[in-house]
Amino acid sequence: MNNIFNFSIVSSFLGLWITTHVPEGFELILGFILIFTFGMIHGSNDLLIVNKLLKNIKHYSKLILLTAYLLIVSAAILIFYWVPALAMFLFILFSAYHFGEQHWDHRFSKSNTIRKSIFYFSFGMFILYVLFAFNDASVKLIVYEITGYEIIHLYSQLILVILGSSVGIILITEYFAKRLVIEVILKELFTLVVLAIIFSSSSLIWGFSIYFILWHSIPSLIEQITFIYGDTKTTSTLKYCKAALPYWIISLVGMVILYVIFSSEKQFYSLFFAFIAAVTFPHAIVMLRMFSKKKAQS
């Protein structure tokens, strides 16, 4: 994990360097390229993970599994189309928990389940809200484009104080219970400082891309490859990418189809977040089951 941390830190500062040396338009394009490659690939093998989870169950239909997965994705897209405010709210909640779980699950194996869940959500939402706070105008514009509602205040300071207090109290509790060492806590606080510096210096999409790819997607890919194949050797990584390729292509084609069908009545950000949300909902559920399975095996 130290290698991943070092890679993420160095790459984050490279992203910060890019922010100060390239136009925002290029930054935006590069951010979307990263999201549509590494970001989408890390969520493309959900069905392979589910098959691994169900390997000891003798009778289950892969067709029914695929159908259920597609129904969840389709339902999410329809909710985003019909009730965009609700869909966006749920998307942020699911994403916050999922980000926190991915970042901390390997540290919280012995903690109380309720406390752990509160911490995952608070930590993930804290990161998102730091990003929102530094990009207040962009967030309000995107929310308006997607939902049609104009937000006057994000209440960033109040919400960050509440979330930060929740994270801090649980970290202190875990430290005194001897389930976390001070080195881990200080390293993660340093991570938050690094992310805050990047978010304060970059656009909304570029800041999100740096966090989403370097701090979430790549660590998640490593976790998934290890869970499916038992290691992260080159052969295992290539197997993972080969298995993910068809689903990744289908996802890209689906995004293009959505854009062609709805481009006349929806802004690009609306379609982009609708599609990302559609694949986030089932992915977050699959990863939750994966982490639970890993705990049961440890």
Residue 278 lies in a domain: yes
The candidate with the shortest Cα–Cα distance to 125, out of 146, 91, 99, is: 99
- Grade residue 276 by pLDDT with cuts at 50, 70 and 90: confident
Residue 128 lies in a domain: yes
Residue 60 lies in a domain: no
Give 73: exposed, middle or buried? Use CB within 10 Å, 0-12, 13-18, 19+.
buried
Q: Give the pLDDT of residue 263.
A: 65
Give 233: exposed, middle or buried? Use CB within 10 Å, 0-12, 13-18, 19+.
exposed
- Grade residue 47 by pLDDT with cuts at 50, 70 and 90: confident
CA–CA dist 2, 169 (Å, integer): 25
Coil, helix or strand at residue 67: helix
Residue 149 lies in a domain: yes
Tally the domains of the chain. Answer: 1
The candidate with the shortest Cα–Cα distance to 190, out of 1, 6, 33, is: 6
Q: For residue 179, what is the DSSP state?
A: S
The two three-digit tokens of residue 217, written as one number: 């997607």
CA–CA dist 280, 79 (Å, integer): 14
Mean pLDDT across the stretch 213-230?
91
Predicted confidence (pLDDT) at residue 296 exceeds the cutoff of 70:
no
Which range is least confidently modeled, 50-64, 68-82, 157-171?
Answer: 50-64
Mean pLDDT across the stretch 134-141?
91
Residue 130 lies in a domain: yes
Residue 248 lies in a domain: yes
Q: What is the pTM of this model?
A: 0.89
Read off the amino acid at residue 213.
I
The chain-wide mean pLDDT, for the chain, equals 85
- Grade residue 130 by pLDDT with cuts at 50, 70 and 90: very high
Predicted confidence (pLDDT) at residue 70 exceeds the cutoff of 90:
no
Residue 74 lies in a domain: no
Residue 193: which domain range?
2-52+83-297
Mean pLDDT across the stretch 41-47?
80
Position of tokens 């830190």? Answer: 9
Residue 207 lies in a domain: yes
Predicted confidence (pLDDT) at residue 222 exceeds the cutoff of 80:
yes
